[in-house]
Structure 1
Amino acid sequence: MIAYPQIDPVAISLGPLKIHWYGLMYVIGISGAWWLTKRQARLGRVDLSEQQVEDLIFYCALGLILGGRLGYTLFYNLPAFLNDPAMILRIWEGGMSFHGGMLGVFAAMLWFGRKIGKSFFELSDFIAPYVPIGLGAGRIGNFINGELWGRVTDLPWGVVFPDAGPEPRHPSQIYEALLEGGALYLALYWLSRGQPPRRAISGWFLLLYGLFRFGVEFVRLPDAHIGYLAFGWLTMGHVLTLPMIVFGAGLIAWAYRQAEARRP
């Protein structure tokens, strides 16, 4: 059993200004993706200028934040929003939906792609390998906030979270940081080497993220106000993630089938 480290969720406090670790994790994730993608443009490894990459990251970050908060509100906490509409602005309190953020990023890429004459999958294949940086950082922010913990466990690395009772629980935030952050980044980096066919990297991102998230949902406790949707184990995370797995597998098959058809 491991005691929760009691990390102050406020990283920096300057008078009335408080910078929370959760928000800082988003800055780290977006900044990391911005630096790496600009480097790719500087080295000529992508058909985008450095300015276009900067603009793309800006719009994707905007889509992530707006979509993530709106998705959390619609998918997980609509009654609370109806009672307190201002809660949608209090991002530092936590409450962001990956699936909503993903849809927001998709919308941003569609709009920006049309603006500069690039297809959606040109941009998504380019961006996908860098998304795990933000995913991993965000899950660490969840852990610091002491939220989204897992089921009770007797494993030696179970963590006693301050607001989850005296029982040790799966640190599901750390599982997700390692899988959706570290493992997904390494997998996409390896798959991106060479010249994979268009749509393949986007498909691999959806498939691998979906599998990692679907698996962790079995040990992650669902939001108390939602609970299990069916069978004593099906969560909202399962429901929202399953289409990613199916669509990702379909994209991969489509990409490699088209690549095979083009070969002489």
Structure 2
Amino acid sequence: MLMHPQFDPVALRIGPLAVHWYGLMYLAAFAMFVWLGRRRVRHEPYRTLGWQARDVEDILFWGVLGVILGGRLGYVVFYQPLTYLAAPWRVFAVWEGGMSFHGGLLGVLLAMAWWARRQRRPWLQVMDLVAPCVPVGLALGRIGNFINGELWGRLAPPDLPWAMVFPAAGPLPRHPSQLYQFALEGLLLFVLLWAFARRPRREGEVSAAFLVGYGVLRFAAEYFREPDAHLGLLSLGLSMGQWLSLPMVGAGVALWVWARRRPT
């Protein structure tokens, strides 16, 4: 049984300025997106279609807006609607925490639709470019969760070699679910998607693979992650994260079938 190292959430202090590890993870995720995106535009069909490195930087700008706005609104709507309905001004209190991946995904989808319309490019072509670059950012985010000692896992058997005590969660050993999600939704999904996307695919296939892959892996990881205290487990003993992942898988399967019926 291990003890969580209790990292200082502040990585660096410069006078009154405190730089948090979680913020650094976000910056690293954005940098990795640009690096991977520049490699993606050298793959087919993007090289033939005239994509440039500056397109990746534009996508990042709009994508960040989508993540922040969608992630915050998604948390408000999916996880604590009554709380924020009673005090609507708290929606803007982002320093209190509260972001939803599924809300962030919806925000990115809308932001990419806006960018694709302005650039007169097919929306699914844009999403197929973006999808393989996302899991590395998700992995870095989970590392930030682990450093902060948050979003810990469910109770684990005491004889589990990697079971970990998170002091903020009490004295009992738990699954380090942040590391499970780092490995599954982050590294594994990245390797599978990147290998799949290296060859030319029908428009929409890479996006479909991301939706199905993330939805399935997140659904599995949720069995080891402690449900939100104010929600607990919902119908059929599933967490909110699992219920939100099911539509992702369904949408991915539908998109895959649609893409496979289109000409190459």
Q: Give me the TM-score of the superposition, normalised by structure 2.
A: 0.91
Q: Tell me the CA shift for residue 58 of structure 1.
A: 0.9
Q: Does 1:25 align with 2:29?
A: no
Deviation per residue, 1:207-252 (Å, 9 max, x gap): 0000000011112111101111123x21111111100011111211
Residue number in structure 2 paired with 1:239: 243
The separation in 1 between residues aligned to 2:124 and 2:19, in whole angstroms, is 35
What are the ranges of 5 or more consecutive residues in structure 2 without an aligned counterpart? none
Residue number in structure 2 paired with 1:221: 226
Deviation per residue, 1:87-113 (Å, 9 max, x gap): 64435x542210011011001100000
Q: Does 1:64 align with 2:67?
A: yes
Q: Does 1:179 align with 2:178?
A: no
1:128-207 equivalences under 5 Å are 128-154=131-157, 155-207=160-212
Deviation per residue, 1:38-74 (Å, 9 max, x gap): 2444677363222222111111111111211221122
**Is the Cα–Cα contact under 8 Å of residues 70 and 100 in structure 1 kept in the other structure?**
yes
**What letter is aligned with 1:210?**
G
- SS for the counterpart of 2:118 is helix
Residue number in structure 2 paired with 1:120: 123
**What letter is aligned with 2:7?**
I
The separation in 2 between residues aligned to 1:84 and 1:149, in whole angstroms, is 28
Deviates more, 1:200-209 or 1:41-50: 41-50
- SS for the counterpart of 1:123 is helix
Q: How many residues align?
A: 258
Deviation per residue, 1:170-213 (Å, 9 max, x gap): 11111111111100000001111211111000000000000000
Deviates more, 1:237-246 or 1:22-31: 22-31
The separation in 1 between residues aligned to 2:88 and 2:202, in whole angstroms, is 47
Q: Tell me the CA shift for residue 79 of structure 1.
A: 4.2
1:135–1:84 CA distance, 2 compared to 1 (3 A) = same
Residue number in structure 1 paired with 2:34: 34
The separation in 1 between residues aligned to 2:192 and 2:29, in whole angstroms, is 18
The separation in 2 between residues aligned to 1:6 and 1:134, in whole angstroms, is 23
1:17–1:80 CA distance, 2 compared to 1 (3 A) = farther
The separation in 2 between residues aligned to 1:16 and 1:176, in whole angstroms, is 34
The separation in 1 between residues aligned to 2:87 and 2:179, in whole angstroms, is 32
Deviation per residue, 1:136-160 (Å, 9 max, x gap): 0111111111111111011221110
The separation in 2 between residues aligned to 1:89 and 1:64, in whole angstroms, is 16
Q: Tell me the CA shift for residue 85 of structure 1.
A: 3.0
Residue number in structure 1 paired with 2:261: 257
What are the ranges of 5 or more consecutive residues in structure 1 without an aligned counterpart? none
The separation in 2 between residues aligned to 1:39 and 1:198, in whole angstroms, is 19
Q: Tell me the CA shift for residue 254 of structure 1.
A: 1.8
The separation in 1 between residues aligned to 2:30 and 2:169, in whole angstroms, is 30
1:19–1:164 CA distance, 2 compared to 1 (3 A) = same
- SS for the counterpart of 2:169 is coil
- SS for the counterpart of 1:101 is helix
**What letter is aligned with 1:71?**
G
The separation in 2 between residues aligned to 1:144 and 1:96, in whole angstroms, is 17
1:12–1:89 CA distance, 2 compared to 1 (3 A) = farther
**Is the Cα–Cα contact under 8 Å of residues 76 and 91 in structure 2 kept in the other structure?**
no
Identity %, equivalent residues: 48
